[in-house]
Every structure is written in structure tokens, then in C-alpha cells.
């Protein structure tokens, strides 16, 4: 029976082979519990053009995620050896070159299946999961195979998730960015926010 994928539920644990700095090693999701947030980036396959753009952008901006105590783990249904080839290929060749986070092999498709991203045709859909330090799923999205994801939006959501966890009773309004005004989760107390925002408008 497949585990339930829901916001507020424990993320399915896994143990698999990952490649980092061209070295193979075991990676277990639960090893990050109590230490870091984890972002799981599922992508369809190595050398797929959209995936390369996403993985490279994430790597180039890794310092922004590290400042937020967050570990990125990228997962595909390729073998560890395919991952090594992907990493040893230069960017101009459609590869990744040196990457600042691990690539995880899900050759038997068990992780992708646990996270409900495996289609009936055996394709792996692009999915993103934000998991907090307690191992709880706080956010996830699933894309189609033709549309790239936004690193800016991922960072924005990560910051908002962390903010509301650290500030009980506060919520982040539409398009909120770190440093913007928040509002209270209680409907009556939130009126202060709306009064400030809309008092000068006639509608």
C-alpha cells in the first residue's frame, strides 16, 4: 500500500545511492531530520533539456538555500552510473559538470512511486517537496513535462514556510517576500492588515 502524500504528514523515508562530487554513497532522507529542511527535486531523466536548466540554476544559487539551512536532493529514475556520466559531462555538452548537491538514483522507481510521481506509462513527473526539520511535508507541486520550474518561487515558498513556523499566529499574504508585512491568522485580527492596505482605496 502506498504511503499518503499530504501536507502536514511525514514524508516517506528512503535509502538509496547518491552521487556527490563524483563519489557514490548511501543517502537516507531521515538522516536530515532534526538538522535541516530538505527540498526534494524530482526530475524525469538525465540529459533532458528542461531538467538541466533547473538543476544548474539550483546549483548556482545553492548559497541562498544553505543560508536557510536547507539541503537539496535531486532524484531521477536513472542509475548511479548515468548520474556520474551526467556530472562528468560539461554544461556545453548538455551535462551538469560540478553540482553543489547530490543526485539520487531511483532505478527501481520505488521513491518516485512513493511520492506519487510515477505515471502508468512509467514516466517520472517533475515534483518538488519541501520537508521541514521534523520530516513533515510542508509544500509540494507537480509539473507537466514541458514547463520549467521557478527557483525564485521555490525560495519564496521556503522562506514563507520557515517564517510561519517560527512566528505562530502569523501568515504570509499573496506574493509575500521576506521582509514584507504579514497578517494575523485570526480573521478579526487580520483586519488591521486590510485596513492599512486598502484604507486609501474607494473599493
Q: Tens place of pLDDT for every residue, the chain, 203 residues? A: 566 789 999 999 999 999 999 899 999 999 999 999 999 999 999 999 999 999 999 999 999 999 999 999 999 999 999 999 999 999 998 899 999 999 999 999 999 999 999 999 989 999 999 999 999 999 999 999 899 999 999 999 999 999 999 999 889 888 999 888 888 877 766 677 777 766 666 55
pTM of the predicted model, to two decimals? 0.91
Task: List all residues 6 or more positions away from 131 whose beta carbon is below 8 Å from its beta carbon.
Answer: 11, 29, 32, 37, 38, 39, 40, 137, 138
* Residue 24 to residue 106: CA distance in whole angstroms: 14
Which helix or strand (DSSP H or E) is residue 66 part of?
helix 62-66
pLDDT at 149: 95
Q: Which domains does the chain have, with CATH numbers?
A: 15-166 (3.40.30.10), 168-203 (no CATH)
Contact between 27 and 75 (Cβ < 8 Å)? no
Please return the burial class of 43, using the count of CB atoms within 10 Å of its CB with bins 0-12, 13-18 and 19+.
Answer: buried
Task: List all residues 6 or more positions away from 77 whose beta carbon is below 8 Å from its beta carbon.
Answer: 45, 106, 107, 109, 112, 124
Amino acid at each position: 500500500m502506498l504511503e499518503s502524500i499530504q501536507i502536514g504528514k511525514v514524508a516517506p523515508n528512503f535509502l538509496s545511492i547518491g552521487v556527490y562530487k563524483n563519489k557514490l554513497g548511501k543517502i537516507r532522507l531521515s538522516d536530515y531530520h532534526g538538522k535541516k529542511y530538505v527540498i526534494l527535486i524530482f526530475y524525469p531523466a538525465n540529459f533532458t533539456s528542461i531538467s538541466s536548466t533547473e538543476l544548474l540554476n539550483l546549483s548556482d544559487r545553492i548559497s541562498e538555500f544553505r543560508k536557510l539551512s536547507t539541503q537539496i536532493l535531486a532524484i531521477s529514475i536513472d542509475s548511479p552510473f548515468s548520474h556520474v556520466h551526467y556530472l562528468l559531462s560539461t554544461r556545453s555538452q548538455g551535462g551538469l559538470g560540478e553540482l553543489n548537491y547530490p543526485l539520487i538514483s531511483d532505478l527501481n522507481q520505488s521513491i518516485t512511486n512513493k511520492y506519487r510521481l510515477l505515471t502508468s506509462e512509467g514516466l517520472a513527473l517533475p515534483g518538488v517537496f519541501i520537508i521541514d526539520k521534523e520530516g513533515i511535508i510542508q509544500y509540494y507541486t507537480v509539473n507537466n513535462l514541458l514547463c520549467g520550474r521557478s527557483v525564485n518561487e521555490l525560495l519564496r515558498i521556503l522562506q514563507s514556510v520557515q517564517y510561519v513556523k517560527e512566528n505562530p499566529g502569523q501568515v504570509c499574504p499573496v506574493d509575500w517576500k521576506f521582509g514584507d508585512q504579514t497578517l494575523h491568522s485570526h480573521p478579526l485580527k487580520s483586519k488591521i492588515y486590510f485596513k492599512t492596505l486598502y484604507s486609501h482605496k474607494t473599493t
